[in-house]
Structure formats: C-alpha cells, structure tokens
Amino acid sequence: MDVGLTSLARCPRDAPAFFWSLGKVFAMTKTSKILALCALVSLAVAGCSSSSSDSNATATPALTGTVRIGVEAPISGDQADTGKGMINGAQLAADQLNAKGGINGKKVVIVPIDDAADAVVGVKAATAAIKAGLDGVVGPYNSGAGAKTLPLYIKAGLTPIRLTSNSTTTNGLGYTLQPMDYQIVPVATEAVTKWLKAKTAVLVFDSTPGYTATTNAKLKASLEKAGVTVKANVGITPGAKSYAAQVKAAAALNPDVVYLVMYSPQAGLIAKTMYDTKVPAKCVADYAAADPIFVTTAGIPAAKACPVIGVPSPSEFPNGPDFVSQYKAAFGEEPGTWSPYTFDSLNLLAKAAEETGGFDAKKLKANLDAVKGWEGVTGSVTIDAANGNRDPATLVVLDVTDAGALAINEAWSKAVGADY
C-alpha cells in the first residue's frame, strides 16, 4: 500500500503524543477503529514509536520530493577505490542532511556518475545524468575529465563543487574545496629544496592532457627558478603493467630526487620499481598520488620510501576524528583521502541551497562567492570569488606508517616550519 501525506492528514486530531509525523500531533476523538488505522498510517509514514510513554521522542522529519545530487568520480577502472571513497563521503553527508530535514524539506539522493578517470567516458556519463535530471553536482576528481564535463553541467544550469586541481582548464568552472596546482607547486618546490635540499631532479609524469601534464610544466619552472637543475622530463602513459624502462632512464641521470607527477596507480608501480631496484635517488610522489591506492600498489616498504605531497589524512583534520568514526560506522571501513572533501562539498552546496531557497545558478553563485570562514571537516573554507577556488588551502607532505596509513611527515613539518 502506498501511504501518502494525504492519507496521513485524515487522522483524527486528538491522538496521544506518540503519533508524531511531520512534527504534528494528532488527537483522539474518533472510534477505536479509526484510531488504530491512524496508528498504522503514522507508523508507515514516520516510523514513530508505539510506546505512549516515550512522548518526547523525535522522529526523522518526513521529506517531500527529492534533490538529486550527481557525484562524478572514477567509480570503475584503476582509480575505482578513489571513486568509492568519494561516493561514500557524499552519501554520508546526504544521510545526515536527510536526518535533519534534507535540503529545503526534500530528500537528498546521490546519483553516481562514473567517468572512469576518462574524458570520453565522463562526457557520456555526465550527458546521461543531466538528461535524467540533476539539481547539483559534486566532482569530478580528474581534471582531464572535468575539463570536458564541467562545461556540460554549467550549460545545464548546475553549479558544480568540483575536486579538480588544474587551474589552466578548470578555474572558474564551479567551485572547489581542494588545493589547486598553483597552490601545490610551491609546497612541492619547498619540500624538494628546503627539506630534501636537492640540487638535481628528474620529473616522471603522466603525459595525458590534464592535471599531471600541466603540473609537470609548472613544477619544472618552479624548481628551476629555485635553483634546482631538472635533468629530464620522462613521460609515461597510464595503463602499463611496468614502468621499469622509465625508472632506468631516470636513474641513469643520477638525480637527487625523482619526482612522480601522476595518479596513485602509476606512482605506486614506479615507487615499487625504484625500491626493488635500489635507485639511490629520493622518490617523491605528487599530490595526484595522495591516495591509499598508492600504498596498496607500491606495497608498504616501497611506499614508506616515497613521501607524497598531499592533504592531511581524514583523521588529522581538526574535525576529522568524528568524521572518521561516523564514516566507519556507516561503511565499515576507513574513509579515502577525498571522502571528507565530498562530504564537505555537499554540505557547502546544501548550505547555499538552503540560504537561497533552491538551486538557481545565479543565486548560488552570489552565495558561494561570499563564503568566508565556513567550517567543515577539512577546516575553514574561504572562497576566492575570482575563480571559485579555496584560498588558502591546506597542503602537507605525507609519510606512510608501518600499518600502511598516510600521515603527516613530521620531519618535513619541522624543516619548513609548517603548522602541522
């Protein structure tokens, strides 16, 4: 039986206090048969308690209608674990929002959009999701996909809260709580020069157009400006089972540092090869590799030998421990690196939609442009209205613990005088 709000509204108006639904109390003035029917309807709609002694219990607010939030992520392919953590982070936010009344009284529904970290796949998936109907978007993660899909969302009247970091191709395409390449490169440069005190480097990078190729070029210029000799740029293509030839070519140049500008699956393979072949150069992995996939691919010993530029692990944020506990209770596993970012992204979008009364793009833009000091799991958020980016954005250097977890490198923190 489909019990709707109109059925519930026919209940008598003087029922005892345990008949709570939609925040209204119904009274008992009719026959016992009608009262019994009312009880059944109330229970079906609101799931309220049958105990009359629990008169102060608060039921979950009943929601009318839905708000469909797409989450574009690499749900399949070699970055699937990253995508899973992103989806779960957004789902946790949706569940908590729904428990408090949804967004403007509507239930938040997460719509997974699988781009498989590929622009062509992403365009197809985004187009289908837009056609099916969306109210908002969180993601994507990969800048190469985002450069193609973000304009589609914006053309459809949506306001994306993206997780891309390529300022060349995705600046101004919605908003982001993640660091951008122009924020990442100075931290990487300082780590190489001030912490590792390197004089020479080889950059090994994913040559696919997008974040990695752009960051490689920007990092090369930054390192050279800081006095580091970049002996070579060695390109790779994702999907290979081995990068031994590229590692051999880099090692032959005898650099102080081999810096890996690539996503976690490829960085893990190269870190493992460097470790297994005892390359004397120090391995450093870029922000794109800051994900548990890096550790599982490289193996803990190799990952421990290759620090990663990234963001604090979920538990290391000031508000992180509570988030981690909630995430583990919901999904039975640790959150991914980007789980708190999709959690915060949806909550920020929800806040803006509540304050503006909906998802009108112009109203959301005015609201989000003015965000200053909003507190999320990932810390304080202030938006630069000129580009939609978070400024400042927290970046750190991560080590891998004996247990395989990513954690802030204390030696780096002391060397550069970081707050963490």
Q: Each residue of 96-151: pLDDT tens digit? A: 999 999 999 999 999 999 999 999 999 999 999 999 999 999 999 999 999 999 99
Q: Is 276 exposed, middle or buried (0-12, 13-18, 19+ CB in 10 A)?
A: middle
Question: Per residue in 91-101, pLDDT tens?
Answer: 999 999 999 99
- Residue 154's CB: how many other CB atoms inside 10 A? 16
Average pLDDT, the chain: 89
Neighbours of 73 (CB within 10 A): 32
Helix 80-99 with 320-331: angle, nearest 10 deg: 100
Of the pLDDT bands very low, low, confident and very high (cuts 50, 70, 90), residue 316 is: very high
277 and 330 within one domain: no
The last residue of a domain, from among 18, 33, 62: 62
Shared domain check, 53 and 37: yes
* Final residue of a structural domain among 41, 62, 83: 62
pLDDT category at 418 given cuts 50, 70, 90 is confident
Residues 6+ apart with CB under 8 A from 1: 44
pLDDT at 183: 98
Domain containing 142 equals: 64-178+312-387
Structural domain count, the chain: 3
Asked whether 273 and 242 are in contact (CB, 8 A), the reply is yes
Residue 305: closest CA among 212, 201, 205, 402? 402
- Kindly state whether residues 300 and 316 are assigned to the same domain: no
8-state DSSP, 281 = S
- Band of pLDDT at residue 58, cut at 50, 70 and 90: low
Residues 6 or more apart whose CB falls under 8 angstroms from that of 275 comprise 283, 298, 299, 301, 302, 305, 306
Based on the domain organization, do 223 and 237 belong to the same domain?
A: yes
Average pLDDT over residues 256-281: 98
Domain termination residue (choose one: 62, 89, 111): 62
The type of residue at 70 is G
Residues 208, 163 share a domain? no
Using alpha carbons, select from 154, 106, 163, 103 the residue that is nearest to residue 126.
Answer: 154
Whether residues 275 and 187 share a domain: the answer is yes
Q: Are residues 238 and 291 in the same domain?
A: yes
pLDDT of residue 171: 95
How many other C-beta atoms are found inside a 10 Å radius of the C-beta of residue 51?
Answer: 9
Strand ranges for 28-184 from DSSP E = 66-73, 107-114, 136-138, 160-162, 175-176
Same domain, 402 and 368: no
**How big is the chain by its Cα radius of gyration, in Å?**
25
Give me the helix-helix angle, 80-99 and 339-356, nearest 10°: 40
Residues 41 and 158 in one domain: no
Q: In the predicted model, is pLDDT for residue 47 greater than 70? A: no
> Exposed, middle or buried: residue 197 (CB in 10 Å: 0-12, 13-18, 19+)?
exposed
**Rounded CA separation 249/30 (Å):** 86
**Same domain flag for 220 and 245:** yes
Same domain, 243 and 302: yes
CA distances from 417 to 34, 195, 286, 313 (A): 71, 10, 20, 19
* Residues 206 and 261 occupy one common structural domain: yes
For residue 307, cis peptide bond before it (omega within 30 degrees of 0):
no
Question: How is 145-214 classified by DSSP, letter by letter?
Answer: HHHHHHHHHHHTT--EEE----HHHHTTSSEESS--HHHHHHHHHHIIIIIS--SEEEEEEE-STTHHHH
Q: Are 263 and 287 a contacting pair, CB within 8 Å? A: no
pLDDT at residue 59, as a whole number: 60
